[in-house]
Amino acid sequence: MRRLCLTILLLSAVLITRAVTLHCEPGKLASLLNDDNVTELTLTGKMDARDFRTLSDRLRQLRVLNLYGVQIVAYDSDKALFANVSSFRANEIPSLSLANMSQLTRLTLPLQTTSIGEAAVAACRNLTDVTLPKSLKQLGKYAFTGCTSLKTIALPALLQEIGDGAFAQCASLTSVTLQSSDPSPVGENSSPYNYANCHLTTIGARAFAGCKNLKSITLGHHLQTIGDAAFADTKLTQANLSAMAELTRVGNWAYAQSPITTASFNAHLASIGKGAFVLNPSLTSISLPASLENVATLLLAGSNQLTEVNLGQTSIDSIGDYALYHLNRITQLAIPSSTQYVGTRAMAGMTGLQKITTYAQSVPDLGEDVWQGVDQGSVALMAPGNSVDYYKSADQWRNFNIQSSFKLGDVNDDGTVDIADLNDIINYMLSQSTGTFIFEAADIDQNGAIDITDINGVINIMLNHISSAPAITPDSGDALLIDNFGINTGQRHTIEVHLDNCRDYTALQCVIHLPVGLELREGTVVTGNRALTHSVASCVIGNDVTIILYAMPNVDLGDNADDAILRLTVTATDELAQLSTVLTDHVTLVTADGDSYHAPATSAQVSRTTAVDVVSMSADRVYGANGTLHIVAQQNASAQLVSLNGMTRTLRVELGNNAFHNIDPGIYVVRLNGVSHKVKL
């Protein structure tokens, strides 16, 4: 009995909390400590790497460490203090300095900390609560790896980089949140990844690998790189990356063996690494970006719940080994015209295949046993008409039921590409009835849409100058402009549409939205003096006028910017408001080579006036000088600054001269009081 009581007393002594608060000076912590069994320590003042060494060596019973009021100062040692490191930066938690503190449960880092060193807090297996400072910018390699009790982590908005393996094997981690100074998502239906004012750009290799309970993560919309195996073997169910406009790379094995159900990407993403979604049996939907350069080895292998893979809308040049292995629910598959190689067993086990459509005029080379296990004789292979014989004579390809699909540009399937096909495309775009219309043949650039680029493509085919436009349409600094004008009830007015352009264009399409009370006179959409060599087609639905301007052969629009490219005659009725707006948007401009560009929306003011009153062009002045944007305004207003990539920024403008500094060099469109001004900074 005495022995039992003694044991209880000893255990009680061990469990007693020893809380200490100390004010430290650099390198002095060792001399301030009177008890190495401290369990709770709060430090203020200043400390350096020597004091972290004291924490690591002496306070092995420490459960709570509060460094919030400490400033970390730089220190250079004549010998290594942690591993082989002897030089330590200010405001950085030194590498390995708090690693393996097995009793530590709660940690608050210094307010001014900007960086956490490599493996600084690694293998603290009882750590459950970490408070990171708002100033933190870099989280080093393996910083918290093996902290198996850590359940949630809030990352500060200024954080730029999560290093390799930073949270790897944090088996209890369920939620990671990137905080923001503006925590409201951008847009009503935005992805949870898309948070404003966050700075995170890089997630390192294996950063969250092995976090077997990680179900929720928010990472901001400035992310540029997701490293190899970053989220492998987690419980994440979504990889909705479409809002991350700056993302350029998703690494090898990034989401391997995770229960991802849906995945989507921004349209400009060029690289998704090998095995990025391998062995994801829950994956039911994935939208590959049009800019993808190749389908990597093992990319989707074993994700056998997928029923669709949209390769036909990409410009890939190769499909890697085992890339689509055992996707046995896929019934139809499209191979883009750019594809040159399909790897070994890339589509083996795709036993549900019924139809393959290949747009490749040249038969792609193949690896070994590409369709192993597929009953090729029962699968229809739809090949371009002029390439059918080549497919029928090629190894492995010849085993399909090969049929002619279509001739590119032969929209009406009459065997030739001529003006009738061009007319059918125009009618289709204007929502007017057509006879036989083969969508795949009309979609010259194979981007899944029929637009002005395809009209240009058909013209080029007719002229034996085949050119494929890029599937991604970049934004242009050029714009269609309409002057403000005045009109009274019963009057007619001819609207002149001008093109303010840097590039040479041969064709365009746009929609002009007329206000209620302004009616287009029948048959009055005509070419202006700058487009006398061109033809125009138009369609009116309600107050929207869809216009297509093109030329045969493809010739550039005239050089005189003062001449209009289009003219529309309108009449005003009593329904026209005192002040209305004509809006021009959905503008696509096309060059002779088939390159297409978006142009920003512009607007013009329409005023009901007497016969002699006219709304003149705005008296506002917009110009650039020495890298500064100047807006000389006639009244207080809001202006929109639109960059080449389509990003819009609102500027508050006051009466008089307004100067805006710190704007990146480039070409911009400034919309002010219904008028668009083009300016170069």
**What pLDDT digit, counting tens, does each position of 399-415 carry?**
999 987 777 788 876 66
Same domain, 26 and 84: yes
What are the backbone angles phi and psi of residue 598, rounded to the nearest 5°? -80, 150
Out of 25-39, 407-421, 602-616, pick the least confident.
Answer: 602-616
Q: Give the span between the Cα atoms of 148 and 68, in whole angstroms.
A: 24
In the structure encoding, which two tokens stand for residue 419, read together? 């003006």
CATH code assigned at 650: 2.60.40.3770
Same domain, 454 and 488: no
553 prior amide bond cis, ω within 30:
yes
Q: What's the one-letter identity of residue 508?
A: L
Check residue 667 and report its DSSP letter. E
pLDDT given for residue 615 in this prediction: 37
Q: What's the one-letter identity of residue 435?
A: G
Residue 626 exposed, middle or buried by CB count within 10 Å (0-12, 13-18, 19+): exposed
Which of 135, 157, 186 terminates a domain? The answer is 135
pLDDT given for residue 464 in this prediction: 57
Residue 652 lies in a domain: yes
472 has a pLDDT exceeding 80: no
pLDDT given for residue 349 in this prediction: 96
The predicted model gives 158-185 an average pLDDT of 85
Task: Name the residue with higher pLDDT: 441 or 349.
Answer: 349
Pairing of strands 648-653, 675-680: unpaired
Tell me which residue range forms the domain holding 559: 479-608
Which of 135, 161, 189 terminates a domain? The answer is 135
- Specify which of 264-268, 426-430, 625-629 reaches the highest per-range mean pLDDT: 264-268
Cβ atoms within 10 A of the Cβ of 676, count? Answer: 23
Q: Who contacts 464 (Cβ-Cβ below 8 Å, separation ≥6)?
A: none
Determine the angle formed by the axes of helices 419-429 and 452-462, rounding to 10 degrees. 180
Cβ atoms within 10 A of the Cβ of 261, count? Answer: 15
Mean pLDDT score across all residues of the chain: 85
Q: DSSP 3-state assignment of 52? A: helix
Which of 574, 608, 642 terminates a domain? The answer is 608
Same domain, 497 and 554: yes
Same domain, 21 and 54: yes
pLDDT given for residue 536 in this prediction: 86
Give residue-wise pLDDT tens across range 271-290.
999 999 998 889 999 988 88
Q: Give the span between the Cα atoms of 639 and 316, in whole angstroms.
A: 41
- Could you tell me the sign of the dihedral formed by the alpha carbons of 421, 427, 429, 433, in that order? negative
Count of alpha carbons within 13 Å of 31, Cβ hemisphere only?
6
Residue 75 lies in a domain: yes
Out of 373-382, 483-492, 537-546, 618-627, pick the least confident.
Answer: 618-627
Residue from 209, 196, 108 nearest 163 by CA? 209
Residue 658 lies in a domain: yes
The strand pairing partners of 546, in sequence order, are 511, 539
Pairing of strands 365-366, 341-342: parallel
Number of alpha helices (DSSP H) and beta strands (DSSP E) in the chain: 7, 49
Give residue-wise pLDDT tens across range 583-601.
998 888 878 776 778 888 8
pLDDT given for residue 217 in this prediction: 92
Residue 531 lies in a domain: yes
Q: Hunting for tokens 């404003």 — which residue is that? A: 196
Check residue 653 and report its DSSP letter. E
Query: Residue 13: pLDDT band by 50, 70, 90 thresholds?
Result: very low
Residue 79 lies in a domain: yes
Query: Residue 636: pLDDT band by 50, 70, 90 thresholds?
Result: confident
Same domain, 457 and 488: no
- Specify which of 196-200, 262-266, 447-451 reaches the highest per-range mean pLDDT: 262-266
Let me know: does 53 contact 75? Beta carbons within 8 Å: no
Same domain, 485 and 604: yes
184 has a pLDDT exceeding 80: no
5 has a pLDDT exceeding 90: no
Instruction: Give me the DSSP letters along 267-291.
Output: TT--EE-TTTTTT-TT--EEE--TT
Cβ atoms within 10 A of the Cβ of 412, count? Answer: 20
Same domain, 661 and 591: no
Cβ atoms within 10 A of the Cβ of 579, count? Answer: 12
Query: Residue 548: pLDDT band by 50, 70, 90 thresholds?
Result: confident
Same domain, 638 and 583: no
Which percentage of the chain shows pLDDT scores above 70?
A: 88
pTM of the model: 0.60
Q: How many domains does the chain have?
A: 4
CATH code assigned at 30: 3.80.10.10
Alpha helices in 33-95 (DSSP H): 49-58
Q: DSSP 3-state assignment of 393? A: helix
pLDDT given for residue 663 in this prediction: 85
Same domain, 489 and 586: yes
Same domain, 76 and 32: yes
Residue 474 lies in a domain: no
CA 219 to chain centre: 13
Q: What's the one-letter identity of residue 663?
A: I
Same domain, 542 and 654: no
CATH code assigned at 504: 2.60.40.680
Residue 391 lies in a domain: no
Same domain, 543 and 450: no
pLDDT given for residue 616 in this prediction: 39
Residue 57 lies in a domain: yes
